[in-house]
A = this chain, B = another copy of it.
Amino acid sequence: MKALVYTGPETLDYREAPDPEPGEDALIRVAHVGICGSDMHAWAGHDERRPAPLILGHEVSGTVVGGPGKGRRVAVNPLVTCGACAVCRSGRDNLCGMRQIISMPPREGAFAELLAMPAGNLIAIPDGVPTEKAVLAEPLACGWHAVRLAQRALEPPIEGARCLVIGGGAVGLGAALVLAARGVPEIHIAETNPARRVIVGRAGDFRVYDPAAGKGPEAVDLVIDAAGFEATRALASAAVRPGGAILHVGLGSAAGGLDIRRMTLQEITFIGTYTYSAADFRETADAIFSGGLGALDWAEIRPLSEGARAFADIGAGRAAAPKIVLMP
């Protein structure tokens, strides 16, 4: 098969690679595969969990061409968990000690024509829903999950909350769309890229602003940091109200930025969030399929063969779309 192989820092090679050996798993012909911030992190050479050479990519939709469910169009939950441990049984399967995600050894990713995946990780796509929308289930499930954890942490309930989302990529925009679907009345989105601000502003009833211009909201109930850099955490810990919550989804940098003194004196809660439970993923896919998360027309689609340029464009800040999706 053809694949886009990460071969070293800022280097991707579109080339022949061995077909996956599915064994008991389903074999999927990839239709769409999104580029995630964590793919960018690996591409930049900053993720020791993803050493070259490796096929990246974990946001996938496609058609089963072999094994269980053959013929079905599916969205892929890329997180493989044991399903049997106490953590999995408690519904926090994303924290399973055995968890694996495709695009990280020992599992290859999906920037390729074919992917092998356990049948339990596949969600059938209803007729009439295109694979290019179903592929957004993965990034949107991250926002879905973060909002669910926020609902547990917040008093009073989230339905009356003033919220700030930092980062207008697919995870941040997805979180904003989930908040809107919950009836949250005031949703601010901080995004530094002016072209992306325009696109994000069209995706829903959001107050989109440039945090570099420093005119953001104050004393919000909830901040969702979908970027996860020192500067965004500093913004988060300054903008949240006493007793409010920061949900931290982004993996931009490993430490720093939080004003811990203020967080202590003002009893701010910080919750790290990683991916989604299997239930979150299914619920997100259902919300996409039923139209509950909007038109989802803001992704940009490019050929997989030109993936290297897409990574370079995102890395240089030249990509306006909240998501670039590649098509083998």
Residues on A lying within 8 angstroms of B by beta carbon are 87, 90, 92, 94-95, 97, 149, 153, 155-156, 228, 233, 242-243, 248-251, 253-261, 263-274
Contacts and interface: CB of A to CB of B under 8 A. Distances in A.
Contact of A272 (B97, B257, B267, B274): B267
Given A87-B242, A155-B90, A243-B92, A272 B248 contact: no
Contacts of A92: 243, 267
A267 B97 CA distance: 13
Q: Report the 4 A-B pairs with minimum CB-CB distance, sorted nearest first.
A: A254-B261, A264-B272, A263-B272, A270-B270
Given A243-B95, A249-B264, A264-B274, A256 B255 contact: yes
Contact of A265 (B155, B265, B266, B272): B272
A325 to B, nearest CB: 24
Contact of A267 (B253, B264, B273): B273
Contacts of A251: 261, 264-265
Total identical chains:
2
A259 B255 contact: yes
25 contacts: A87-B242, A87-B243, A90-B155, A90-B156, A92-B243, A95-B243, A95-B267, A153-B153, A153-B269, A248-B263, A248-B264, A251-B265, A253-B261, A254-B259, A255-B261, A256-B260, A264-B273, A264-B274, A266-B274, A267-B272, A267-B274, A269-B271, A269-B272, A270-B270, A270-B271
A161 to B, nearest CB: 14
A273 B269 CA distance: 9
A265 B263 CA distance: 21
Contacts of A155: 90
Contact of A94 (B87, B153, B156, B267): B267
Contacts of A250: 264
A269 B256 CA distance: 16
Nearest to A234: B255
Contacts of A257: 260
A258 B261 contact: no
Nearest to A94: B267
Contacts of A228: 260, 264
Given A94-B267, A251-B265, A267-B94, A260 B242 contact: no
Contacts of A95: 242-243, 266-267
A255 to B, nearest CB: 5
A90 to B, nearest CB: 7
A42 to B, nearest CB: 14
Contacts of A263: 248, 270, 272
A87 B228 CA distance: 30
Given A87-B243, A260-B254, A270 B269 contact: yes
Nearest to A249: B264
A269 B149 CA distance: 10
A242 B228 CA distance: 19
A267 B271 contact: yes
A94 B243 CA distance: 10
